[in-house]
Amino acid sequence: MPWDRRAPERGGRPSAWALLPEDLAEGECPGRPAHVFSRLQRARTWLADDRLFLARDSRAWLEAHTDLSLPVILERHPSEDGSTKLVLGLTDGHRIEAVHMPRRVDDPRVTFCLSSQVGCALGCTFCATGAMGIVRNLTAGEIVGQVLTLMRALGPTLGEDLFLVFMGMGEPLHNLDHVHRAIRVLCHPHGMLLSPWRITVSTAGLVSGIEKLARMDPRPLLALSLNATTDAARSATMPVNRAWNLARLRQALDAWELKRHERFIFEYVLLAGVNDTLEDADRLVAWLGPLSRGHNLNLIPMNEHEHSAFREPAEERTQAFAKRLHEHGCFVTVRRSRGRDVQGACGQLVRRAVAGG
Ligand code: SF4
């Protein structure tokens, strides 16, 4: 199978969840490839009694040639705000975390915050995952598997109610081949039929990945975790800035040809006494230039955790920062991350233990 050759899933059989209809056809899976793919991906039919509704010969082929295992839920941590942090176990014993975030009670739409790696190599100093270092990339099958496992456990049953953000453990652009393969599978018209506009990939500023993603199809939305307004300050908290500084990052955004519906999302984690002055707000607007209008800028007061000495700024300071950006015409939202009370918020996801380790 082509996918098997391009990215062997750690030497084993390829995950069934990452196969496209053309892979099933090339592997000579019995049955119509589009039909088999659809059965694999459409959680609604699959959820009904926990079995795949497939002809016996198709199912036997999948069992013989592919890996049908999914991440398993090891822990559930419901938050007071309605979100749930889930600790998921992978087949090799590693653990990752994902967050299920429903909207209002009368709104069926749900956002999943997904992981793309076990750990992360980028080492941002305010981030719990960064403190772990990198363990390994997730495979496309494990990424799609996170979606299916969360849908199966907590809903929604329809892909049309689903929004995905790659803001969990890992830098998704460090694992772009697998992340993009998962996006292709999830957006396939015979599968979940997710729109790429409902998928957001968040990067710490890996310029080589941004430039590659800009040319990919389907192309998700891009969120950029900015968090500082001078190279010295950014390099101190986000080592990736030493390789690709703020000017180079801005250049990569300028080269990204935005489609009519597309907007960048900028994230700025406010760290008390580090990046929360009004001068920082002014420099942020200057760096954004024309991008300060028409794009979303999320201010996220630091989610304090045991792996970092950084603190959340006082409320007045956060409000003053936001007000200054408003005065410059920015569209600013102060985001209180969801799941803070269960350590499921931005920068708080961390594997607490590896099975057997
Ligand atoms: S903030 Fe993102 S890129 Fe930085 S260490 Fe954490 S997971 Fe990695």
Domain(s) labelled CATH 3.20.20.70 in the chain stretch across 72-342
- The helix/strand/coil state of 296 is strand
Helix axes 33-41, 56-65, angle to 10 degrees: 70
Q: In the chain, what's the furthest Cα-to-Cα distance? A: 66
Amino acid at 273: G
Give yes or no: 346 in active site.
yes
Ranges in the chain, pLDDT < 50:
2, 4-8, 45, 47-48, 345-346, 351-357
- Residues having CB closer than 6 A to ligand 1 are 120, 122-124, 127, 129-130, 170-171, 204, 347
pLDDT digits (tens, 9 = 90+) for 32-87: 999 999 989 875 545 445 567 788 899 899 989 998 889 999 999 999 989 999 99
Q: Do 107 and 101 touch, CB atoms closer than 8 A?
A: no
Angle, alpha carbons 291-292-295 (nearest 5°): 70
Give yes or no: 120 in active site.
no
**In angstroms, what is the span from residue 348 Cα to ligand 1's centroid?**
10
**In angstroms, what is the span from residue 199 Cα to ligand 1's centroid?**
18
DSSP-derived secondary structure letter, 313: P
Indicate the top mutation candidate among 114, 120, 136, 298 to test ligand 1's pocket, ranked by most ligand atoms within 8 A of CB.
120
102-123: b or e for each residue (b if 16 or more CB lie within 10 Å)? beeeeeeebbbbbbbbbbbbbb
Amino acid at 119: G
pLDDT digits (tens, 9 = 90+) for 241-262: 999 999 999 999 999 999 988 9
**In angstroms, what is the span from residue 135 Cα to ligand 1's centroid?**
13
Annotated catalytic residue within 124, 127, 330, 346: 346
**In angstroms, what is the span from residue 204 Cα to ligand 1's centroid?**
7
Tokens of 28: 């000579």
Looking at residue 347, its pLDDT comes to: 52
Angle, alpha carbons 179-108-98 (nearest 5°): 35
Q: Which is the closest atom of ligand 1 to the Cα of 168? A: 7
Indicate the top mutation candidate among 124, 167, 307, 350 to test ligand 1's pocket, ranked by most ligand atoms within 8 A of CB.
124
Pick among 3.20.20.70, 3.40.640.10, 3.40.50.300, 3.10.105.10: CATH of 72-342: 3.20.20.70
